[in-house]
Each structure stands twice: as structure tokens, then as C-alpha cells.
Amino acid sequence: MSTPPVTNPLMPGEGKKTVGLGFRVYQSLKIGIHRELLNHVDLEKVATQPDDQTRRQVYAVIQELASNLRTPVSAPEKERLSLEVLSEVFRLGPLEPLLQDPTISDILVNGASEVYIERAGVLEESGVIFKDNAHLMHIIDKIVSAVGRRVDESSPMVDARLADGSRVNVVLPPLAIDGPHLSIRRFGQIPISERDLLATQTLTQPMLELLRGAVKARLNIVVSGGTGAGKTTLLNVLSGYISEKERIVTIEDAAELHLKQRHVVRLECRPANAEGKGAVVQRQLVINSLRMRPNRIIVGEVRGEEALDMLQAMNTGHDGSLTTMHANSPRDAIARLETMVMMANLNLQEKAISRQIASAVTLVLHMARFNDGSRRLINITEITGMEGDVISMQDVFVFEKQGVSSEGRTLGTFTAIGIRPRFEEKLRASGISLPANFFEPTVSYQGRQR
């Protein structure tokens, strides 16, 4: 496939890149040109003067640098490289090629000369650098000002969101000792599907069938796991099983969910303004959502006192609700839920809180990320009720890690525990039937059904 011609260097397009060099080599060349450009042009100054004359001058320098590349490139490739580097100068600078790379999920800037990226769950250095901390601050100001936010010494931390939905966090000195820190969590333009989860062996077909039935039967589900374990990804897939006939209200601190249904109301928290006023927190949105006639409430991540209102909603006719939370295990997820409910300061007895959780939540799905970057649904755990003052739980499916291959890949097996869950009656009542041997422990899977 040839590179489409570009005729106007002042208005660079975003066409597909040539395949002649290969994507990785192409990106490397572009980063190299941009790095060398730092030694020839004051990018911080020219980026504030996006007029035609400035663009022409910068474009001429870029073309000269492209002509001096050691790697042989064709004329169309040189033209495309020059135009895209020019585009980066007047956008987000050295970050632009990283933001255009769909394989990158996280961009982590630790000062001007240290930029890491995450691909397929594995961190690596990107080779991208900024001229200095002032150059990095200029890019940060571009990002936060575009969404009406500001960050400086008086307000050294900020959360923001890029136009493509990527989540941004900034921490400045004196809180960040070694210079400005910028973290960008990116989300694919094409949401991950159930087929992707099966292809990457995140779970198995029987596990997926069980979860599909659980959502359709309106069980309340909590997805737990560590940072980057794939909680939101799994939540997105589960939400796809909700009927088009239902009204869904989503509540998020920063919008990340991509629901496919048409009747979706998306609510997002609002931070305080420069005077420290006007903040709208998740608990307010959860309470308000109950007045919006929802069939389902999806809380992107429960992390504080809103847990109480979410549980009350689950217990008062809004069954089928979904949420995620940070935790190290299913049992830890329940303990954290108890702690978050206590943050509401209503002087509830611990036993009353435990009973409310046991009554509201049916399933805890625990995600984990392994050293090779792979993500697995390692527990499908049912909450069965109370035993004395303790919430009782039982695993339905587990992932048993068996070691690491010579290539560093995590080895393991997905296995049914052999216990028929109590919620199976709810599945049958909703018209969902499972094979008689579905939960037998002898039926073991590793990546695909055997």
C-alpha cells in the first residue's frame, strides 16, 4: 500500500502511515527527527506562534533533518515523516507519536528526560525526551488548559482528560521532587470485546457463559483487582450483555466506560474550581441517579462513602448493578467495601454493614495482572450469606498458576471448583440453563474448552 500524497504542508493530515519501513521503525525515525529538532528550533516559542510563516520555517528544518536520516526512506515516507513531525510541534510535542501508537496503553513521564510506556502490560523506555522541564511544563499546560483546568505551584496536582478520552494525571514540584510528572492512561478507540478476552486467555468460554447469564439474570457484580489488572475492560464487556430495553446510568470519577446501548446516561464527577468550590463527588451522583429512574446503575469505581448508597440501591430494586474496586483478593474486596461504608459516618454497626453487603452483592470477579503483562480473571466468587458475623464466600471458577515458561509466559489452568452456586436458581428463573456437568471439577480449561 503506497503512502497517499500530501500537497499542503501547512495543514498536515492524519492518513495511514506507509508500511514500507514497518510501524516500529517509522515511529523510531519520527521520534529521532523530533529529538534532533530540539537542537535547532525553540519549540516552546514556535508552538505559541502557529502562523503560516512559522510553520513554513519549521517545516523546512524538519525536511532537512529527514533528508539526513541514516535509514534510507522513500520520498513519500520522507514527506509523511515531515508532515507528522510538523503536526507534533503544534500539538503535544514529543508525546504525539506515542499518542498515535494504538499499542501503547500508558505513557509515564518522569521529568523531561525519562518517558516510559506500557505495551501489552509490560513497561519499557520510549526514547522520547523533552528539551527541559520548561518544555514539559509547556506541554502539560496545553493539556490541562484545553479542558479548562490549571496546574501550578499553588495547585500542583490535577486530573484531566484528553479529547480521545485518555485519562491524565499531573503532579508538579514541590510534591514531585525530581520535576513534573505526567501520567496518561489511554483507552483503545475500539473497545475490547469478549472475543479479545478469549483470545488473550483472560478467561474461558464457560466462564464467559456464566458471566453473561449472571448479567442477564440481574445479579449484582463487583469486579476487583489491582491497578491495570483489566477491571474496567471486563466491566465494559459485561455491560454489553445488558438489554437495550433498559435505562442505564453510569457514574464515574473520570469517564472510561464505553457502553454500546443507546439508552445510557453518563455522569461524571466534577473537581473543585480554583477557589476550592463547586466539586461534585461520586456519592452525590449516586444519590441523584436514584431519582433518574434507572434500571441499572454502573459505578465505574467505588472508592469511598458512595459505597453505602450503592449498596442501598442494590438492595432496593436496582439489581443488576455493576462496579469495580481496587483489592488484592475477593475477601479483601469485601473488607474494603465494609471500610468504605464506614466512611459515610452513620454509626452503623459492623454486623449491619456486613449483612447489607451479603444481601446486595452476589458475585466478586477478581482480576490479576502477571509479570508477563497478561491479565486473568483468577476468581469468580459467590457471596453465599452470613455465618455468624462473617460474610461467607465460595469460589466457582479459579485460575491456578502453575509456573512460568522459558519465554517468561505465565502458565496456569482455569478450573471449576465443583460447587454449584446458589445463584443458579436465579439463572434458571431468568430462562438461563447450564449443562449438568458445567461446574464439575474434572472439567478443566486452559485457554480454550477441551
Q: What is the pLDDT of residues 229-287, one digit of tens each?
A: 999 999 999 999 999 999 999 999 878 888 889 999 999 888 777 677 888 989 999 99
Whether 185 and 263 share a structural domain? no
The C-alpha cell 446501548 sits at 261
**Per-residue pLDDT at 1:** 33
Model confidence at 142, pLDDT cuts 50, 70, 90, reads confident
Least confident piece of the model among 19-23, 144-148, 264-268: 19-23
pLDDT grade for 48, boundaries at 50, 70 and 90: low
Decide if 133 is inside a domain.
Answer: yes
The mean per-residue pLDDT over the stretch 381-385 comes to 96
Last residue of a domain, one of 41, 70, 88: 88
Residue 384 or residue 127, greater confidence: 384
**Does pTM surpass 0.85?**
no
We report the CATH number of the domain holding residue 140 as 3.30.450.370
pLDDT above 60: residue 312: yes
Mean pLDDT of 311-327: 91
Write down the pLDDT at residue 442.
56
Question: Which pLDDT value is given to residue 44?
Answer: 65
Among 88, 120, 149, the domain-final residue is 88
- Percent of the chain past pLDDT 70, that is, above it, reads 90
Instruction: Provide the pLDDT for residue 197.
Output: 93
Residues 378-401, mean pLDDT to the nearest whole number? 94
pLDDT given for residue 449 in this prediction: 37
Quick one: 161 and 44 in the same domain?
Answer: no
In the chain, the number of structural domains is 3
What is the predicted pLDDT for the residue at 20? 57
Q: How confident is the model at residue 330, as a pLDDT?
A: 96
Q: What is the pLDDT of residue 447?
A: 40
450 assigned to some structural domain: no
Residue 247 pLDDT: 95
Residue 112 near residue 136, CB atoms below 8 Å: yes
Reported as a single tens digit per residue, the pLDDT across 164-180 is 778 899 999 999 988 89
From 13-17, 93-97, 328-332, the region with the lowest mean pLDDT = 13-17
pLDDT at 399 over 80: yes
Residue at which a domain ends, from 61, 88, 115: 88
Full domain range(s) for residue 170: 91-189
Residues 218 and 334 in one domain: yes
Residues 321 and 381 in one domain: yes
Average per-residue pLDDT for the chain? 85
Asked if residue 70 has pLDDT above 90, the reply is no
* Whether 64 and 95 share a structural domain: no
Decide: 364 and 393 in contact? Cβ < 8 Å: yes
Q: For 182-206, what is the mean pLDDT?
A: 87
The reply to whether 36 and 66 lie within a common domain is: yes
For residues 106 and 125, state if they share a domain.
yes
Residue 400: C-alpha distances to residues 121, 299, 323 (Å): 20, 29, 25
pLDDT at 358 over 90: yes
Q: Are 132 and 98 in the same domain?
A: yes
pLDDT above 60 (res 14): no
Q: Are residues 231 and 264 in the same domain?
A: yes
Residues 38 and 113 in one domain: no
Asked whether residue 228 falls in the same domain as residue 279, the answer is yes
Residues 231 and 120 in one domain: no
Q: With 60 as the cut, is the pLDDT of residue 409 above it?
A: yes
